Chain A
Amino acid sequence: DAGVIQSPRHEVTEMGQEVTLRCKPISGHDYLFWYRQTMMRGLELLIYFNNNVPIDDSGMPEDRFSAKMPNASFSTLKIQPSEPRDSAVYFCASSLRQMNTDTQYFGPGTRLTVL
């Protein structure tokens, strides 16, 4: 398996623009996580899905953020409108919840810069 795939790897946009980040989890994994990492706040969980259903979105900072998982192999994180304070690295991770194993596998991240 190619691992968790994220696109784009880098995104530079202007304030007010819509940004869509994409993630393809590892095939067969039933959990998908979106994280944000900044120097100031470290790694924060934004939202996670189980079997394509959002379970906990309490980490989503504002209504400007939304996430979807239309099927088991694809998820998006959308920011509309984007603001400079959204600049961060966004990671997607997936895992397979089984007895004695629950390792989260991370994608390479999308580095977002909002000017």
Chain B
Amino acid sequence: KQEVTQIPAALSVPEGENLVLNCSFTDSAIYNLQWFRQDPGKGLTSLLLIQSSQREQTSGRLNASLDKSSGRSTLYIAASQPGDSATYLCAVSDTNAGKSTFGDGTTLTVKP
């Protein structure tokens, strides 16, 4: 059974700092890995999707990497802003191309 762990559970940084969020998974036979953002009381918004054959994806100030063999992914946020404050979740989709397992998320607070 796939297990996804995100560390740390919460992170507080001053504005402008670069930061890294971590995601690890136990079964490396994955189809893809997705990073989401969730604002309080809201649904999830997809940030980046990395296929199992890819090593990284970039979107603006965000960069996600994937090391399938070690079961790890990182989400790098450059020059953090207060608007980046949210909970970030990673989700791993299995090779049957449908079932996703989510981590518990990292709650990020960026202080002005």
Contact = CB atoms under 8 A, between A and B. Distances in A.
Given A91-B43, A109-B43, A104 B100 contact: yes
Contacts of B104: 42
Contact of B99 (A56, A93, A97, A106): A56
Contacts of B102: 35, 42-45
Contact of B97 (A35, A97, A107, A108): A97
A35 B89 CA distance: 14
A102 B97 contact: yes
Contact of A106 (B45, B93, B97, B98): B45
A12 interface: no
Given A42-B104, A43-B89, A31 B51 contact: no
A108 B43 CA distance: 5
Contacts of A44: 102
Report whether over half of chain A's contact residues are helix, strand or loop; otherwise say mixed.
Answer: strand
A96 B51 CA distance: 14
A56 B101 CA distance: 13
B46 A104 contact: yes
A50 B42 CA distance: 25
A48 B99 contact: yes
Given A91-B43, A108-B43, A102 B31 contact: yes
A76 to B, nearest CB: 18
A2 B102 CA distance: 25
Nearest to B47: A103
A106 B51 contact: no
Interface in B80-112: 89, 91, 93, 96-105
Which of B31, B43, B45, B103 has the largest number of chain A CB atoms within 10 A? B43
Closest 5 A/B residue pairs (Cβ): A106-B43, A43-B102, A106-B44, A42-B104, A103-B46
